Amino acid sequence: MTGGGTGVGKEIALQMADAGAFVTITGRRQAQLDAVAGLHANIAGFSADVTDRASLKALVRTATGGWGEISIAVANAGAANSVPFSRMTEEDWKDTLEINLTGVFHTFQAVLPGMEKSGWGRLISVASTAGLKGYSYVSAYCAAKHGVVGLTKSLSLELATKGITVNTVCPGFTETPMLERSIENIMTKTGMDPESARKALTSTNPQGRFIQPEEIASTICWLCEETSGSVTGQAISVSGGEI
């Protein structure tokens, strides 16, 4: 699983490990991965960069060498940067797509041969409600996440008869370190206090709250079950009714 060192990724790793899976997590910061791996004997962490194709392939070799072929891959790595479209640089655009869209492409391509060989697999990405609607000032992020949804729908058709499902989970604003950075950004740009900034973000959720990481993780664990084998090509909203 990519992006496994904090937030949603950490919770997914722990829930899957509790269910009996052997989980390899990756991210850019080895210290964070080690901290998560130290919480469960079924978790191992190795640093890799989802924007680097060779890095992902090397990770897969390491993971399969330790625990056998990968049957479930969760592409969770992502990042968002708030900037008006008129001030967005080409570098901003490329960086956002590399992490949020190309990273999913690299991850899925790295693990797919093993799944095709075994005739069973789960390809799951963590997108966002930004893959199902638009938000102001994050147009590159929305474009990338819409791309993930399109990739999901297309790839699921290619793999429909091969025992491999492809789905994406689309959370609303989720209580994670990335959310805290968004709140700090709102406070800096608008002068809002923390409570007002948080209310500005929860206002899009009909339930009036943030999504919790364990809610996303449990949805992903359900998609990994045998009984979810007919669920493929779906963009599943976990957003309190926002979508």
Burial 177-209 (b: 16+ CB within 10 A, else e): ebbeebbeebeeeeeeeeeebbeeeeebbeeee
Q: Model confidence over 15-62: pLDDT tens digits?
A: 999 999 999 999 999 999 999 999 999 999 999 999 999 999 999 999
pLDDT band for 231, please (50, 70, 90 cuts).
very high
pLDDT band for 129, please (50, 70, 90 cuts).
very high
Q: Model confidence over 159-194: pLDDT tens digits?
A: 999 999 999 999 999 998 778 878 888 888 889 988
pLDDT band for 121, please (50, 70, 90 cuts).
very high
How far is Cα 120 from Cα 79, in angstroms, rounded to an integer?
30
- The pLDDT score that the predictor gives to residue 180 is 82
* Full-model pTM: 0.94
Mean pLDDT of 114-138: 97
- The pLDDT score that the predictor gives to residue 232 is 98
List the structure tokens of 84.
Answer: 């008006």
List the structure tokens of 23.
Answer: 């989980």
The single residue of 46, 105, 108, 141 carrying the catalytic annotation is 141
pLDDT band for 78, please (50, 70, 90 cuts).
very high
Proportion of the chain above pLDDT 70, given as a percent:
100
User: Dihedral (C-alpha) 65, 67, 68, 73: value to the nearest 10 degrees?
Assistant: -110
Mean pLDDT of 191-218: 93
How far is Cα 133 from Cα 174, in angstroms, rounded to an integer?
16
- Angle (CA) 182-77-97 rounded to 5° is 80
- The pLDDT score that the predictor gives to residue 230 is 98
User: Dihedral (C-alpha) 238, 174, 98, 66: value to the nearest 10 degrees?
Assistant: -80
Please state the length of the chain.
Answer: 243
Q: What domains does the chain contain, in order, with CATH numbers?
A: 71-238 (3.40.50.720)
Give 169's Cβ-side CA count (13 Å radius): 30
141 is annotated as an active-site residue? yes
- The pLDDT score that the predictor gives to residue 197 is 87
